[in-house]
Amino acid sequence: MTSPAVGVDHLVLVTATVEETLDFYERVLGAEVRDRHAWREGVVEYPVLHFGSFKFNVHPIDTPASPRAAVPVAGTLDVALRWSGDVASAERHLRSHHVEILLGPVTQEGAEGNARSVYFRDLDGALIELICYASDGASEDAQREPTRPGQ
């Protein structure tokens, strides 16, 4: 029996600060914000951040949306987003937006093999990884040893 194909369609991002979160993901990661006005007017329960082939539903921490996580807490997301360039361009991009890099560049094992990553936090403290594969434009940088705190 063949297993069904599974892929990411959407994630739910729980936040304490919806407007600031929408601005952060739009400004720093280029998300397309959908339903912002409808959410403000109470027409929909939450706004949406689109990233091409997937999306984040942005739930205010006190949303009545159902079903939802058993214990929804802002800042508990830990996700790796694929960056289309090399890790140096991801690092430059984050710094240009005054985003503190917590770790990296480091070598990581991603869904498609070895890659280089940088890590940062959003406004609620969620951990975001930008992962960069050599096939996406990474240079010889992808072959260097990992850099971790304390090394």
What CATH number did the domain enclosing 85 receive?
3.10.180.10
Q: Are residues 51 and 102 in the same domain?
A: no
* Residue % of the chain over a pLDDT of 70: 87
Q: Are residues 56 and 29 in the same domain?
A: yes
pLDDT the model gives residue 28? 96
Task: Look at residue 2 and tell me if it is in a domain.
Answer: no
* Residue % of the chain over a pLDDT of 90: 65
Task: Look at residue 3 and tell me if it is in a domain.
Answer: no
Give the active site residues.
129
Average pLDDT, rounded, for the chain: 86
Task: Report CA 69 to chain centroid distance, whole Å.
Answer: 19
What domain range is 133 assigned to? 77-151
Q: Are residues 84 and 67 in the same domain?
A: no
Task: Look at residue 1 and tell me if it is in a domain.
Answer: no
Confidence of residue 9 (pLDDT cuts 50, 70, 90): confident
**In the 8-state DSSP scheme, what is residue 112?**
T
Distance CA 52, CA 54 (A): 6
One-letter amino acid of 57 = N
**In the 8-state DSSP scheme, what is residue 67?**
S
pLDDT the model gives residue 137? 53
Task: Look at residue 114 and tell me if it is in a domain.
Answer: yes
Domain count, the chain: 2
pLDDT the model gives residue 144? 43
Domain end, chosen from 48, 73, 98, is at 73
Domain end, chosen from 53, 73, 93, is at 73
Average pLDDT over residues 102-118: 93
Q: Are residues 83 and 139 in the same domain?
A: yes
Q: Are residues 119 and 92 in the same domain?
A: yes
Nearest residue to 48 (alpha-carbon basis) of 87, 12, 4: 12
pTM (predicted TM-score)? 0.81
Q: For the segment 27-64, what is each residue's pLDDT rounded down to a tens digit?
A: 999 999 999 999 999 998 899 999 998 999 999 998 87
Domain end, chosen from 22, 49, 73, is at 73
Q: For the segment 113-137, what is each residue's pLDDT rounded down to a tens digit?
A: 899 999 999 999 999 999 999 866 5
Average pLDDT over residues 97-110: 94
